[in-house]
Amino acid sequence: MTEQVSSTAAESMPMSDLGRRLALRRARLGLTRREVAARAGMASSYLRYLEEQTVAAPGIGALIRLAEALQTTVTELTGGEAERPPGPGRAAPHPEFSELSPAECRALLATHGVGRLAVPTETGPVVVPVNYTVLDDTIVFRTRLGTTPAQASGCQVAFEVDRIDDAFSSGWSVLVRGYARTVTDPDEARRLDERAYSAPWAGGRRALWVRIEPRTVSGRRIAV
């Protein structure tokens, strides 16, 4: 129980860039701090120190072991890929390509996060990232009048989410096609405010809710 509590605390408010990346990667793999420390051959108290202290400066040997334990790269852990698009590595020697089932697509979509919205505009289609949440089997996001995402209202749109693992040359993507509409009912908008996972990263007041009703959902996965 102690391990779970301390891990959750580290994930909610780590104090350094390295700490945030360590905790986030660990959470994505569903691993406790003790499990990662054992894989990396270090004490769990030292891993806690790395996750929580801004002064932590592990050597390259510790970083390599942590990267192996977390199935990633030292460059990724230290933020070297922050300004680069995902997927710069080579393809795996023997990749396996598969279609995702509708249930798998829904499960991956429901993890929330940032998706890519394809919007038809007067000058042609535009793709923009939006912070989204899945509620009641629909995709919802916040924006404001006059923005590109707001132009999705009343249109057939495409919405895509994906995850790329450069270390293993693998990943998945889910594509949703459907009709977007502005939420005009005040009670419905208030419920969305209460249930939304997080605020838009872009900041500012974004009180306009847009809901996408999925018409088709498809996905694919590339694994090694």
CATH topology of domain 2-77: 434 Repressor (Amino-terminal Domain) (1.10.260)
The average pLDDT across 109-133 equals 90
102 vs 119: CA distance, rounded Å: 24
CB contact at 8 A, 18 and 53: no
83: pLDDT confidence band, cut at 50, 70 and 90?
low
pLDDT tens sequence across 172-189: 999 999 999 999 999 998
* Spans of all domains in the chain: 2-77, 96-223
CATH for the 96-223 domain, from 3.30.365.10, 1.10.3720.10, 3.40.980.10, 2.30.110.10: 2.30.110.10
Tokens of 22: 């360590």
Q: Measured between alpha carbons, how far is 126 from 108 in angstroms, rounded to an integer?
A: 24
Q: What is the pTM of this model?
A: 0.66
DSSP class per residue in 110-175: TT-EEEEEEE--TTS-EEEEEEEEEETTEEEEEE-TTSTGGGGTTSEEEEEEEEEEGGGTEEEEEE
Question: Model confidence at 117, in pLDDT bands (50, 70, 90)?
Answer: very high
Average pLDDT over residues 162-177: 85
Report the percent of the chain where pLDDT is more than 70. 88
User: pLDDT category, 213, cuts 50, 70, 90?
Assistant: very high
